[in-house]
Amino acid sequence: MKTVHNKLIRDKIPEIIKNNGDVCKTRILNEVEYKKELLSKIAEESKEVQETKGDKKELVKEIGDVLEIVNYLIKVFDLEKKEIENVKKERKQARGGFDKKIFLEYTK
């Protein structure tokens, strides 16, 4: 039975699929498509972090996947890690972190 995925996958996945005796159809994305799919992939991987429900082993695996995508986003969008770290620090200083565990219920 054919299952449609239409998503960016890791480089060795086609080989793994074939080694399992299955067939897959892939194509190479152009740069515009690649950037778009990386942006979609970060949302997919972030959702998978949430779905771990805090299971430590799964959480480590899924956060690793998120970090992998973040690193590729930095690379393909030609961003500077130092600049990202500086902005992160500035935002934390201006808006705070998450140490106090504050949950916003509503505003009026």
pLDDT at position 20 is: 96
**Mean pLDDT for the chain overall:** 96
User: For residue range 19-61, what is the model confidence (pLDDT) as tens digits?
Assistant: 999 999 999 999 999 999 999 999 999 999 999 998 999 999 9
Please state, in angstroms and rounded to a whole number, the distance separating the CA atoms of residues 8 and 37: 6
Contact 7, 41 (CB under 8 A): yes
- Kindly report the pTM of this predicted structure: 0.88
Domain locations in the chain as residue ranges: 28-94
- The number of residues making up the chain comes to 108
Please state, in angstroms and rounded to a whole number, the distance separating the CA atoms of residues 78 and 75: 5
* The two structure tokens encoding residue 57: 């082993």
Burial class (CB in 10 A: 0-12, 13-18, 19+), 46: middle
